[in-house]
């Protein structure tokens, strides 16, 4: 009994202290019952005065007058909204570096190698009801690096962030960012190819021709080595292996693009090699070719109403989401920004204002649709029994600018709780005061001249100050 | 006549020892005895009063009942303590161009400023790889004796150091050197000792230009090395009828690495850098050693489980700014980091992670920082071990160095007072059995030095 009590106590501590995580064996998430809330299920409408039960990291039940076990945490949801965790299909949060811009084809680099689980942006995103991110390589190269889909388990080691079973993906990029990344950034450095949209197409085609040859070489070797044991195997090429996976339909392509010509170019190129583009990222002119995008089976992940911030963004219209949705394209709203990621709910809401999407259609833009685009729709994206308990409790409708998140759960565990956060601030202030006073190794007066702590550059990849995203470390 | 002669010898020995003359005139048969001293053997119990005999560059005997041989130059060790010579397990000593000491505060994957300051990596002729990606580079080829840094290290009692320039990704192969000798050949204890890896991208404009590319490059080259090895094996089995693999020194240098025969030292300080190094080490089954290790305590469980030792930097992070009113407040995380770095050594010892100290090329703060780690949870005896037997074990030279035992290299540090006491003075340093010129006083703590 004593053991049970201490266990419950431990669970309670873990539940209320999401940031100070215990590293060792983690007990299963505690049971949580949210009572009498308005539940935005996404797949079967809005349910009034409804309970949601989270158990063993899953949504265990949705309905009226649910029962929970005695040790469950019960939250009164009266007047509150329960929504699936928001999924951001285009993020660069928690990446120590975004671009490997030295080459035009960098399919060998993996964002998973450089994730930083302590990035404070993650906590801010949790506070905006976001639970899943698609971490993409930058847009410096026609073929960029491999993506990583993560659940925001802030405070945990990097390995625990990885979304189990998410489809592997890769970043492609077309247009201005790629062209301009080819400008030499250091004197004496040769200009990188390509420098035009034509060149971008050629680079991608060339890469897939090489990938096709690579696959053939290996197939032939495997066949021949059955007879001849003395054959030297072909070289394993980490650049071409992911491209072979694309050709085999085992890896999703997320292609950064803006204008019609390049969108159609990529569709044609993909058809030529027999693979599919999973999402067109940004696709600000997507509304002009919505039918073609839908026919290819691709999705689009866009901004709500960002416009004119560079030459290829001049034809953007805020009706983009609505037009593409009506044409049958799976559309999502992404952030591409640590800042915008905190308010994706408002970005989705704009699609009701511009283009009259229904509330459910607009909600899907940041929940089920990005889940589909990442191949995780069986796990997340709606409030359905059996799905992962990645949900947020809002104190009002998430489409109101006055609403905010009270609590965010990932796999049934609390990773953000507003009350807890506010409650611990005095304690943190005290800790700061103590640490500043007991400053070890404090330099003497007359030491080196002061400099303010280095600020990290913002990671708004597609805003004007970032048009030159060369080989730069963030 | 013989009497006069032996007197002369004693007198000259005294001259050597106390006036600190160090010249090339020693013969290999020089014999010394330090008598009546407290001996911290490290390998066994402390001998309160005993004698250490040095002969022919080696420790001939040590113990309470050992007597000084008649031909020995005798040093009265009354009131002195003899320690094994201290080992600095990661330096850039004895290199032609001293690299700037790494910033202790820098974490994460950024470090652009730091990278800008780095010296150009050494480049070998006819390599298949650009500078910075040449694992075949050996520090042995560029070591040169002498220099102020070596002297400063000896003055605090360091007799042995692992050395390598910290530049590039495949930084090349390090050597373990004794900090005394007229030629590089005399100094080298073992070379090559280990392969070294850093995660700072190339700044030449070429690939890899980011941390992303660094990992992919390391991976690709290790895969290439596997294929190179396999291709060579096939070719050697049946040269007739097999197409000759192109020779590649860079890949050849990686073969002992991927086969786990040569340890790989990876520079990693923050928790996530160490975790990434551990992941890469596990992926290729490397014999991994972490260097830097500022937040190693946070990954202690994994380090212990994967049996990965740490060369822990004693260049503890310090505040780089005077706290002016108009300066932005530092993040709480940074404030915590500085406090926690002082506790890392103690926590590693408790968690059973093998570690050894390295100075981080900050000799002037070294002893003060050791005291800080002792004040923050490290046992003083473990601090001695982390400078002696632990680095010897981690670097694979435990049969030659790291303790006072008969047969080991006669590297000894003699002090008046306990090694890490504030008031302690290093009185004698023996390297390869020879007394070495040291300044009588240990460099005082950092504060005074910083004022200059």
> DSSP letters along A231-283, please?
PPPPPP-TTTHHHHHHHTT-SEEEEEE-SHHHHHHHHHHHHHHT----EEEE-
A12 has pLDDT over 50: no
Nearest chain B residue to A117 by CA: give it: B272
Task: Nearest by CB to A447, from B235, B238, B322: name it.
Answer: B322
Cβ–Cβ below 8 Å for A232 and B331: no
Cβ–Cβ below 8 Å for B209 and A100: yes
Tokens of residue B370, six digits:
């050791």
Flag whether residue A189 sits within 8 Å of chain B, measured between CB atoms.
Answer: yes
Nearest chain A residue to B201 by CA: give it: A473
DSSP A69-134: -TT-EEEE-TT-EEEEPEEEEEE-TTBS----TTSSB-TT-BGGGGB-TT-HHHHHHHTTTEEEEE
Query: Which uninterrupted H or E stretch holds A293?
Result: helix A290-296
Q: What is the pLDDT of residue B238?
A: 86
Nearest chain A residue to B231 by CA: give it: A232
Burial A222-260 (b: 16+ CB within 10 A, else e): eeeeeeeeebbeebebbbbbbbbbbbeeebbbbbbbbbb
Cβ–Cβ below 8 Å for B330 and A431: no
Q: Are A254 and A147 in contact (CB under 8 A)?
A: yes
Q: What is the pLDDT of residue A468?
A: 35
Flag whether residue A432 sits within 8 Å of chain B, measured between CB atoms.
Answer: yes
**Nearest-CA distance B102 → chain A (Å):** 17
Task: Give the whole-angstrom CA distance, residue B321 versus residue B319.
Answer: 6
Q: For tokens 């390297």, what's the residue? A: B431
User: Is the pLDDT higher at B9 or at A191?
Assistant: A191
Percentage of chain A exceeding pLDDT 70: 85
Q: What is the pLDDT of residue A66?
A: 96
Cβ–Cβ below 8 Å for A450 and B109: no
Nearest chain A residue to B276 by CA: give it: A113
Flag whether residue A236 sits within 8 Å of chain B, measured between CB atoms.
Answer: yes
Average pLDDT over residues A162-172: 97
**Nearest-CA distance A411 → chain B (Å):** 23
Flag whether residue A25 sits within 8 Å of chain B, measured between CB atoms.
Answer: no
**Nearest-CA distance B440 → chain A (Å):** 27
Nearest CA to A285 out of A316, A254, A321, A318 is that of A316
pLDDT of A405-436, one tens digit each?
999 999 999 999 999 999 999 999 999 989 88
Give the end-to-end CA distance of chain A in Å, rounded to a whole number.
Answer: 51
Task: Give the whole-angstrom CA distance, residue A452 versus residue B330.
Answer: 8
Cis peptide before B208 (omega within 30 of 0): yes
Domain boundaries, chain B: 1-84+403-445+448-452, 86-401
Q: For tokens 């990290």, what's the residue? A: A456
Task: Nearest by CB to A109, from B205, B213, B318: name it.
Answer: B213
B1-84+403-445+448-452 CATH fold: Urease, subunit C; domain 1 (2.30.40)
Number of H helices, E strands in chain A: 12, 17
List CB contacts (< 8 A) between A221 and chain B: none
Query: Which uninterrupted H or E stretch holds B291?
Result: strand B288-292
- How many CA within 13 A on the CB side of residue A290? 16
- How many CA within 13 A on the CB side of residue A109? 33
Flag whether residue A473 sits within 8 Å of chain B, measured between CB atoms.
Answer: yes
Cβ–Cβ below 8 Å for B272 and A118: yes
Q: Which of B111, B201, B209, B236 to mutate to test the interface with A (most CBs of A within 10 A)?
A: B209
| Cα dihedral value B315, B318, B320, B323, nearest 10 | -170
Q: Which CATH class is domain A1-85+382-438?
A: mainly beta
Tokens of residue A315, six digits:
């034809």
Q: Are B208 and A100 in contact (CB under 8 A)?
A: yes
List CB contacts (< 8 A) between B230 and chain A: 232-233
Long-range contacts of A429-434 (CB under 8 A, 24+ apart): A431/B332, A432/B329, A432/B332, A432/B335
DSSP H helices, B306-431, are 332-341, 344-351, 366-375, 380-385, 389-394
Tokens of residue B317, six digits:
């992070």
Neighbours of A422 (CB within 10 A): 9
Q: What is the pLDDT of residue A424?
A: 96
Q: What is the pLDDT of residue B278?
A: 97
A228 has pLDDT over 70: yes
Mean of pLDDT over chain A = 89
Flag whether residue A164 sits within 8 Å of chain B, measured between CB atoms.
Answer: no
Domain boundaries, chain A: 1-85+382-438, 86-380+462-466
Nearest CA to B198 out of B273, B267, B115, B290 is that of B267
**Nearest-CA distance A464 → chain B (Å):** 22
| Cα dihedral value B205, B211, B217, B220, nearest 10 | -150
pTM of the model: 0.87
pLDDT of A250-274, one tens digit each?
999 999 999 999 999 999 999 999 9
Sign of CA dihedral B88, B90, B96, B97: negative
CA distances in angstroms from A115 to A157, A179, A470, listed in the order given: 10, 27, 20
pLDDT of B210-267, one tens digit each?
999 999 999 999 999 999 999 999 999 989 888 899 999 999 999 999 999 999 999 9
Cβ–Cβ below 8 Å for B235 and A451: no
Task: Nearest by CB to B112, from A23, A157, A473: name it.
Answer: A473
Percentage of chain A exceeding pLDDT 90: 81
Cβ–Cβ below 8 Å for B321 and A118: no
Tokens of residue A330, six digits:
């799976």
For residue A162, the 8-state DSSP code is B
Domain covering A86-380+462-466: architecture: Alpha-Beta Barrel (3.20)
A90 has pLDDT over 70: yes
List CB contacts (< 8 A) between B113 and chain A: 454
Q: Are A370 and A27 in contact (CB under 8 A)?
A: no
Task: Give the whole-angstrom CA distance, residue B225 versus residue B195.
Answer: 14
Q: Which of A99, A233, A450, A451 to mutate to test the interface with B (most CBs of B within 10 A)?
A: A450
Cis peptide before B123 (omega within 30 of 0): no
Task: Give the whole-angstrom CA distance, residue B421 versus residue B375.
Answer: 12
Task: Give the whole-angstrom CA distance, residue B364 versus residue A171.
Answer: 49
How long a stretch of residues is chain A? 474
Cis peptide before A357 (omega within 30 of 0): no
- Phi, psi angles (nearest 5°) of residue B196: -125, 140
List CB contacts (< 8 A) between A116 and chain B: 108-109, 272
Could you write out the three-class secondary structure of A412-447? CEEEEEHHHHHHHHHHHHHHHHHHHHCCCCCCCCCC
Cβ–Cβ below 8 Å for B320 and A443: yes
Sign of CA dihedral B22, B28, B30, B36: positive
Q: What is the pLDDT of residue A30?
A: 87
Nearest chain A residue to B214 by CA: give it: A109
- How many CA within 13 A on the CB side of residue A317? 11
Query: Which uninterrupted H or E stretch holds A34?
Result: strand A32-40
pLDDT of B77-106, one tens digit each?
999 999 999 999 999 999 886 444 444 433
- Phi, psi angles (nearest 5°) of residue B221: -70, -35
CB neighbour list of residue B66: distance below 8 Å, 6 or more residues apart? B50, B51, B52, B53
User: Is the pLDDT higher at A472 or at B24?
Assistant: B24
Residue B178 burial (C-beta neighbours within 10 Å; 0-12, 13-18, 19+): buried
Cβ–Cβ below 8 Å for A108 and B220: yes
- Phi, psi angles (nearest 5°) of residue A409: -110, 140
Task: Nearest by CB to A113, from B212, B321, B331: name it.
Answer: B212
Taking phi over 0 as left and psi of -120 to 50 as alpha, with beta for the rest, A441 belongs to: left
**Residue range B86-401, CATH number:** 3.20.20.140
Q: Spell out, as residue ranges, where chain B has pLDDT lower than 50.
A: 1-6, 8-26, 28, 98-119, 442-452
Flag whether residue A446 sits within 8 Å of chain B, measured between CB atoms.
Answer: yes
Cβ–Cβ below 8 Å for A436 and B235: no
CB within 8 Å of chain B, chain A residues 124-163: 137, 145, 157-159
Taking phi over 0 as left and psi of -120 to 50 as alpha, with beta for the rest, B168 belongs to: left
């Amino acid at each position: 009994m004593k053991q049970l009590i201490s266990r419950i106590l431990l669970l309670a501590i873990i539940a209320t202290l999401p940031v100070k995580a215990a590293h060792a064996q983690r007990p299963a998430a505690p049971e949580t019952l949210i009572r009498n809330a308005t539940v935005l299920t996404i797949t079967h409408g809005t349910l009034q005065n409804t309970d949601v039960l989270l158990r063993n990291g899953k949504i265990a039940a949705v309905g009226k007058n649910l029962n929970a076990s005695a040790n469950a945490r019960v939250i009164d949801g009266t007047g509150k909204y329960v929504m699936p965790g928001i999924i951001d299909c285009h993020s660069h949060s928690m990446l120590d570096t975004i671009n490997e811009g030295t080459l035009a084809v960098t399919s060998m680099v993996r964002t998973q190698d450089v994730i930083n689980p302590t990035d404070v942006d993650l906590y801010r995103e949790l506070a905006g009801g976001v639970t899943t991110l698609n971490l993409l390589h930058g847009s410096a190269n026609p073929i960029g690096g491999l993506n990583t889909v993560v659940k925001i388990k802030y405070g945990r080691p990097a390995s625990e962030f990885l979304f189990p079973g998410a489809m592997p993906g890769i970043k492609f990029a077309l247009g201005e960012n790629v062209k301009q990344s080819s400008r030499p950034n250091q004197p004496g450095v040769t200009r990188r190819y390509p420098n035009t949209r034509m060149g971008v197409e050629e680079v991608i085609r060339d890469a897939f021709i090489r990938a096709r040859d690579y696959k053939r070489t290996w197939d032939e070797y495997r066949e021949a080595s059955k007879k001849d044991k003395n054959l030297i195997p072909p070289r394993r090429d980490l650049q071409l292996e992911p491209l072979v996976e694309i050709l085999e339909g085992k890896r999703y392509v997320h292609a950064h693009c803006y204008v019609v010509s390049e969108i159609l170019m990529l569709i044609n190129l993909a058809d030529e090699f027999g693979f599919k583009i999973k999402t067109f990222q940004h696709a600000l002119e997507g509304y002009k070719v919505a039918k073609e995008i839908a026919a290819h089976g691709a999705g689009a992940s866009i901004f709500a109403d960002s416009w004119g911030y560079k030459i290829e963004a001049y034809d953007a219209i805020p009706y983009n989401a609505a037009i593409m949705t009506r044409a049958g394209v799976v559309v999502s709203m992404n952030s591409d920004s640590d800042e915008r990621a905190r308010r994706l709910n408002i970005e989705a809401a704009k699609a009701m204002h511009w283009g009259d999407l229904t509330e459910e259609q607009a909600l899907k833009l940041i929940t089920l649709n990005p889940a589909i685009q990442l191949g995780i729709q069986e796990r997340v994206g709606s409030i359905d029994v059996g799905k992962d308990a990645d949900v947020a409790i809002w104190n009002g409708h998430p489409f109101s600018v006055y609403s905010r998140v009270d609590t965010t759960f990932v796999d049934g565990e609390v990773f953000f709780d507003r009350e807890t956060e506010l409650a611990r601030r005095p304690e943190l202030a005290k800790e700061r005061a103590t640490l500043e006073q007991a400053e070890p190794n404090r330099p003497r007066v007359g030491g080196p001249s002061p400099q303010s702590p280095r600020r990290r550059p913002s990671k708004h990849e597609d805003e004007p100050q970032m048009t030159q995203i060369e080989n730069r470390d963030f | 006549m013989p009497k006069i002669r032996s007197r002369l010898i004693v007198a000259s020995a005294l001259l050597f020892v106390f006036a600190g003359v160090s010249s090339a005139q020693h013969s290999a048969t020089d014999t010394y005895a330090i008598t009546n001293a407290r001996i911290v053997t490290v390998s066994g119990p402390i001998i309160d009063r005993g004698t250490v005999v040095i002969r022919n560059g080696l420790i001939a005997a040590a113990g309470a009942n050992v007597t000084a041989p008649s031909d020995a130059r005798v040093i009265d060790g009354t009131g002195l303590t003899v320690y094994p010579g201290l080992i600095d397990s990661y330096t850039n000593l004895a290199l032609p161009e001293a690299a700037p000491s790494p910033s202790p505060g820098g974490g994460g994957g950024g470090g652009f400023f730091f990278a800008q300051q780095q010296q150009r990596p050494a480049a070998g002729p006819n390599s298949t790889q650009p500078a910075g990606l040449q694992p075949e580079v050996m520090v042995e080829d560029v070591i040169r004796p002498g220099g102020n840094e070596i002297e400063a290290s000896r003055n605090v009692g360091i007799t042995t150091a692992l050395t390598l320039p910290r530049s590039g990704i495949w930084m090349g192969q390090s050597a373990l050197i004794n900090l005394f000798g007229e030629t590089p050949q005399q100094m080298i204890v073992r070379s090559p000792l280990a392969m070294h890896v850093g995660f700072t991208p190339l700044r030449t404009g070429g690939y890899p230009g980011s941390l992303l590319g660094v990992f992919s490059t390391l991976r690709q080259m290790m895969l290439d090395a596997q294929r190179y090895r396999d291709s060579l094996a096939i070719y050697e089995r049946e040269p007739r009828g097999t197409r000759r693999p192109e020779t590649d020194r860079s890949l050849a240098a990686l073969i002992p690495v991927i086969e786990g025969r040569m340890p790989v030292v990876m520079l990693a300080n923050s928790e996530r850098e160490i975790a990434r190094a551990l992941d890469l080490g596990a992926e290729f089954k490397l014999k991994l050693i972490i260097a830097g290790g500022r937040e190693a305590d946070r990954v202690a469980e994994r380090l212990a489980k994967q049996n990965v030792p740490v060369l822990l930097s004693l260049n503890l992070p310090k505040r780089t700014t005077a706290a002016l009113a108009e300066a932005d407040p530092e993040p709480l995380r940074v404030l915590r980091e500085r406090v926690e770095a002082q506790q890392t050594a103690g926590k590693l010892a408790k968690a059973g992670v093998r570690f050894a100290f390295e100075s981080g090329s900050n000799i002037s703060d070294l002893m003060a920082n050791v005291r800080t780690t002792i004040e923050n949870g490290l046992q003083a005896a473990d601090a001695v071990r982390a400078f002696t037997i632990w680095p010897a074990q981690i670097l694979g030279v435990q049969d030659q160095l790291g303790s006072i035992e008969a047969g080991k290299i006669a590297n000894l540090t003699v002090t008046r007072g306990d090694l890490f006491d504030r008031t302690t003075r290093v009185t004698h340093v023996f390297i390869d059995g020879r007394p070495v010129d040291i300044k009588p006083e240990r460099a005082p703590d950092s504060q005074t030095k910083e004022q200059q």
